[in-house]
Amino acid sequence: MPNADTEMRTYHLSEDDEVEGSRQIDSPAQGCRYLIFNFRREGPHHRADFRQAIRILYDRELLVSELGGDRLAPASGLLPRFSDSSALSSGTLDEARALLRASGYGGEAVRLVFTDKKEEWIEANWLRRRADRIGLRLEPCPYDPALGYPQVDEAELAIASEVLEDDWELDLLNFFLNGINYLGRMLLGEQREELLALFDGFMTEDDSGRAEIFARAQRLLGDNNWLLYGAHTSHRAYFNRSLYGLRMGSLGFPNLSRLWVRGEDGDAAGKH
């Protein structure tokens, strides 16, 4: 607002790190963090026993209980409404070790890519420590999303997140049908054909029919361990205590049209 005041004032809108004296705002996200295998690369992850061993390592309940942070609840689907707690199953590290041996794993390094963010570093290192305990060489590889997909394409495994907007149905449809996201780039042609076949006639279905197609698509990914659901997450942001009217949108950004600033005398800054 030019010429509103002779003194310039700034207000912190960081979503990255806690700032001393700031207010923390948490809001549930419509989505989850997950692991996905890159089937376009050769490696032990093409064998079902190996993927099941990783499924045990990436224990959804332990993710939430041991790591906390932005992890709200274990996930068995992309959206909380699709997550069924009865579908969650755990296993022991001894079982994971036996599956790893049965898969014929030969000790080669398995690269795990993830964006260079705090929570993904925490998750990658936690998974690496668990992998060490069963004799799996997991190599965390952070990358810069600004550099594009080449780094991701060179890895066998990736940590990814999907956060849906308020029109979750359109976003979820885009997630499954988009050929250039993680899912589209990492599945083989025959896997993708099997997934896309589920959406034949999708637009002619009513609400319950479309929801059932989404549920079947998520079960296909989960039952085959092509994608390993992790935890539903929250948006966390820190704001200057002078900011009021904070309302977080579906993607974790504040609604700026509702935002106002309390001045030092307690009145709204806009009244000065």
10 within domain boundaries? no
pLDDT in the model for residue 1: 47
pLDDT band at 250 (very low <50, low <70, confident <90, very high): very low
Structure tokens at 167: 């029109």
Is residue 12 a part of any domain in this protein?
no
Q: Which domain holds residue 142?
A: 25-236
Summarize the confidence of residues 61-67 as an average pLDDT: 95
In terms of pLDDT, which residue wins out, 243 or 40?
40
**What beta strand segments (E) does 103-209 contain?**
110-115, 138-143, 157-163
Mean pLDDT of 15-35: 65
Give the residue carrying structure tokens 């964006």.
Answer: 115
Query: 14 in a domain, yes or no?
Result: no
Instruction: Write out the two tokens for 24.
Output: 């923390």
For the chain, the first-to-last Cα distance in angstroms comes to 12
- Report the alpha-carbon distance of residue 258 to residue 189 in Å, rounded: 46
* CATH code of the domain in which 137 resides: 3.10.105.10
Question: What is the per-residue pLDDT for 169?
Answer: 92
Alpha-carbon torsion (192, 197, 203, 208), positive or negative: negative
Strands (E), 9-137: 23-37, 71-74, 110-115
Kindly state whether residue 246 falls inside one of the protein's structural domains: no
In a domain, 247, yes or no: no
The pLDDT value given to residue 81: 77
| Separation between Cα atoms, residue 46 and residue 63, nearest integer Å | 25
SS3 193: helix
pTM attached to this predicted model: 0.77
Per the structure, the count of domains in the chain is 1
Q: List, for residues 167-199, the tens digit of each pLDDT value.
A: 889 999 999 999 889 999 999 999 999 999 999
Q: Among the listed ranges 167-181, 225-239, 253-267, which one has the minimum average pLDDT value?
A: 253-267
Q: Give the residue among 65, 136, 149, 147 at the shortest CA–CA distance from 99.
A: 136
pLDDT in tens, 198-219: 999 999 999 999 999 999 999 9
Q: Is residue 266 part of a domain?
A: no
> What's at 257, amino acid-wise?
S
Q: How many CB atoms lie within 10 A of CB 157?
A: 26
Residue 221 lies inside a defined structural domain of this protein: yes
Task: Compute the distance between CA of residue 236 and CA of residue 21 in angstroms, rounded to an integer.
Answer: 16
Task: Provide CB contacts within 8 A for 92, sequence distance 6+.
Answer: 56
Place of tokens 């906390």: 68
Whether 94 maps to a domain, the answer reads yes
DSSP β-bridge partners for residue 157? 37, 112
Report CA 8 to chain centroid distance, whole Å. Answer: 38
